[in-house]
Amino acid sequence: MANLHWLANPGRFLRISNAVVPYLAGLTVVLLAYGLWRGLTAPHDATQGAPATIMYMHVPSAIMSMTVYGGMAVASAVALIWKHPLADIAAKSSALIGAGFTATCLISGSMWGRPTWGTYWAWDARLTSELVLFFVYLGYIAIWQAIEDPQRAGRAAAILALAGSVNLPIIHYSVEWWNTLHQPAGLLQGKTDPVLAVPLLTLLAAFFCFYVTVLLLRMEREIVGRKIRQLRLLQAQA
């Protein structure tokens, strides 16, 4: 917790963020370009053919949709328990990014499902639980939009984030707990062919760097916005 309290100073955080963001953005571009090149030049899947190239967008976005939400849940717990001043800002700033990854996962999965399963959508356990995750993201964002007081909004949103985290193991283990159309997970377990695993892992790293880059930028914007609101309130009171 010492490191967390060290970052609690908004000015210190902004200095670190401003120094790190350009390098993260550059690394994102490099990883994204390399991952896409390796993926688009890799041999097509022997069974599914060209449509399987959608996996290079679908798999990393699916993993990131859960990773971002897990980070939101941890940040929400820190905000509720230790009252860390930047924890709820981190969770709030992550929500829209996570919703974007989840939407990308659902859309790309539907595009992949049409030639593979013969339909864009099936009420499969993995698909349905991922859709629930998307709605939880939207609910979290709606709370921040509906409640003007940041402290009240932060508490309500944090409770929702922690409650919604029970869906993460359901998404992950759904292919093992139920008989589903969705294929089992294999990338992070080392079960994927290296020809496919290299571009997938590269793009996953690119998506993660993109997430951190945008997260820091959104946190900077939120911190500055709150300072402006505080100054306006002081001026109004004066």
pLDDT of residue 4: 53
Q: Average model confidence (pLDDT) for the chain?
A: 89
Question: SS in 3 state form for 203-235?
Answer: HHHHHHHHHHHHHHHHHHHHHHHHHHHHHHHHH
pLDDT of residue 185: 66
pTM, to two decimals: 0.91
Q: Is residue 11 part of a domain?
A: no
Residue type at 14 in one-letter notation: L
Q: Is residue 92 part of a domain?
A: yes
Q: Is residue 16 part of a domain?
A: no
For 226, the domain range is 24-237
Report which of 136, 127, 181 is spatially closest to residue 158, judged by C-alpha positions: 136
Q: Give the confidence band of 2 by pLDDT, cuts at 50, 70, 90.
A: very low
Q: Is residue 43 part of a domain?
A: yes
Handedness of CA 144, 213, 97, 187 (dihedral sign): negative
Give how many domains the chain has, as a whole number: 1
CA distances (Å), 106 to each of 56, 111, 122, 197, 213, in order? 14, 9, 11, 21, 23
Q: Is residue 14 part of a domain?
A: no
Q: Is residue 12 part of a domain?
A: no
